[in-house]
Amino acid sequence: MTRRVTANLSLTLDGHYHGPGGPTDMGAIVSYATTEVARRHLTRIWEKATTAVLGRRNAEGFLGFWPTVAADENADPRDRAYAKWLSETEKVVFSTTLTEPPWNHTRVVNAPPAEVIADLQKTGSGDILINSSASVIKPLLAADALDRLYLMICPEITGGGERLFENGLRASSWNLTHQEAGEQGELALVYDRRR
């Protein structure tokens, strides 16, 4: 059986994964990251995954944050569980500039994402999670290589920033397999590709 390829990303109501200030402009999304709905969603995202795939920027950013959460006994247990999983699981980082893996259990690749993911699907078991990395999710969407999307919709309009779904994607159909709304208006959605 071929491994399922999943991806997670948080988006604003107007479809951006960061604000007009660039990749560090995350204010419209970060404020919803610690809600109960978001934490349950985070657990859903990783609980069946055995490989995490990241772009370089996220790999370096995650490395600066999640290991401290794993070591923090006062952190939310769900956050700690994710942080420990992320530290211990196999990771593949896409980069054109890194020469050394930035993290343990990590290999760096500089190749087309669809080819690398197709190779990963042939080995091992468990889901392959494209972990909040639009630079990898976008080419996989274009190649119709994603089986599941975990989306967190934050009730904010940024008026600018990068979009996940751009014109030119091949048409596809998806089934909504899970939905949950939070008290602040955030939505956790799971879509499975209809083939």
Residue 57, domain member (yes or no): yes
Give residue 1's pLDDT. Answer: 64
* 155 close to 16: Cβ distance less than 8 angstroms: no
Give residue 117's pLDDT. Answer: 97
Sheet architecture: strand order including 148-154? 106-109, 90-94, 49-55, 127-131, 5-12, 148-154, 187-194, 173-181
**Ordered per-residue pLDDT tens for the chain, 195 residues:** 689 999 999 999 999 999 999 888 999 999 999 899 999 999 999 999 999 999 999 888 888 888 888 889 999 999 999 999 999 999 999 999 988 888 889 999 999 999 999 999 999 899 999 999 999 999 999 999 999 999 999 999 999 999 999 889 989 999 999 999 999 999 999 999 999
Give residue 159's pLDDT. Answer: 93
DSSP assigned state of 186? -
Residue 123, domain member (yes or no): yes
Which residues lie closer than 8 Å to 64 by C-beta, 6 or more apart?
Answer: none
Residue 179, domain member (yes or no): no
**Calpha distance 64→61 (Å, rounded):** 5
Residue 66, domain member (yes or no): yes
Token representation of residue 74: 């006062």
pTM of the model: 0.94
Domain count, the chain: 1
Residue 186, domain member (yes or no): no
Give me the domain span that covers residue 111.
Answer: 5-168
Burial of 96 (0-12, 13-18, 19+ CB in 10 A): exposed
Residue 53: strand, helix, or coil: strand
Give residue 136's pLDDT. Answer: 97
Residue 194, domain member (yes or no): no
In this structure, the number of other CB atoms found within 10 A of the CB of residue 88 comes to 11
Residue 93, domain member (yes or no): yes
Q: What is the CATH number of the domain that holds 63?
A: 3.40.430.10
Residue 195, domain member (yes or no): no
